[in-house]
Amino acid sequence: MTFSTPTTPTSPVAVRGDGAGTPVAIGLRGVTKTYGAVHAVRGLDLEIAPGEIVAFLGPNGAGKTSTIDMILGLSRPTSGSVAVLGMPPHQAIRRGLVSAVMQTGGLLKDLTVAETVAFTASLFHSAVAVDDVLRRAGIAGIADRLVGKCSGGEQQRLRFAMALLPDPALLLLDEPTTGMDVEGRRSFWAAIRADAEAGRTVLFATHYLEEADAYADRIILISKGRVVADGTSAQVRALASGTTVRATLEGADPETLRRLPGVDSVEVRGDTVLVHTRDGDGVARYLLNQTEARDLQVTTRGLEDAFLALTGHEDDATEIEESHR
């Protein structure tokens, strides 16, 4: 896992260096997107391997939707290149290799749920059976309902069912649970998760921290059109706020602890020692192996703190993307 800063140099993209020549699911190289004077994306280098479940996390206006549109071929980067499964996005779309669940819209109110799926299925060279995707999305019971009469959550499940039709290698979800209640979100994610177990690559954009935390193998945090952190949820958390290791240790030597890799500060309160560090595992290993420490507690601060620390204030950026919707 890598942690990039806004000035990270370009990483090799397009084909993974595993010798097999397997194309990466998504490869972005030096991608920028400018709308007039607004820089929505300011140089993204990303490589997402097949089978990864990745959260694209960031405040409104961070450039998430702009990036997803480019991966889907709905818009073209101002500069840089986008490859999906080793080919240009529109070719991947035509072969049914990529699907997306968009946030809103994209449905005809005067078709039923089953008709909408059948309509979409007819467009692909080969598609999964309509009944099958309805069942997997949990909407087999409302197959004959008009789309206009479906709730927001049901419509979102319908979009998911449509996305499953071509059995895509890559599934993109743009803020898929916006407007759903807690239960709706939970069951929606359960369906996605169950589906992804088959090895599908999933990239979802969200500004719900807990969603990124709970459902992604990897979190890519972006702010103002740049990647500010990239790693597991624990890594991203630790990056901003660090980990606190607390232990009972008689006669602790603060100087030795301070010299451990990644340690920011050490507090000693009687028999209790508190170590603030970016490498909690390392400190814990040292304390348990090299000292008499006991009652060890390792706590990372919430992802929310990491999020705020890394993305900075978000108000100015918010207006930018809203005006381009």
Q: How far is the CB of 255 from other proteins (least distance, A)?
A: 41
Strand order in the sheet with 26-35: 38-48, 26-35, 79-84
Note the residues at the interface with other proteins (CB under 8 A). Answer: 22-23, 25, 49-53, 72-76, 85-87, 90, 93-100, 102, 104-111, 115, 118-125, 167, 169, 196-199, 201, 217
Q: How far is the CB of 136 from other proteins (least distance, A)?
A: 16
Whole-angstrom distance, CA of residue 250 vs CA of residue 242: 24
Question: Of 124 and 208, which has the nearer Cβ to other proteins?
Answer: 124
Q: How far is the CB of 164 from other proteins (least distance, A)?
A: 13
Ramachandran bin of 80, using left for φ above 0, alpha for ψ from -120 to 50, beta for the remaining angles: left
Question: Of 53 and 239, which has the nearer Cβ to other proteins?
Answer: 53
Whole-angstrom distance, CA of residue 79 vs CA of residue 58: 22
Whole-angstrom distance, CA of residue 293 vs CA of residue 32: 50
Question: Of 125 and 269, which has the nearer Cβ to other proteins?
Answer: 125
Q: How far is the CB of 65 from other proteins (least distance, A)?
A: 12
Cα dihedral value 57, 58, 60, 63, nearest 10: -90
CA distances from 184 to 47, 107, 152, 157 (A): 31, 19, 10, 10
Question: Of 168 and 242, which has the nearer Cβ to other proteins?
Answer: 168
Question: Of 127 and 273, which has the nearer Cβ to other proteins?
Answer: 127
Q: How far is the CB of 277 from other proteins (least distance, A)?
A: 27
Question: Of 10 and 79, which has the nearer Cβ to other proteins?
Answer: 79
Element (H, E) at 220: strand 218-223
Q: How far is the CB of 322 from other proteins (least distance, A)?
A: 17
Cβ neighbour number for residue 158 with a 10 Å cutoff: 27
Instruction: Check if the beta carbon of residue 194 is closer than 8 Å to that of residue 131.
Output: no
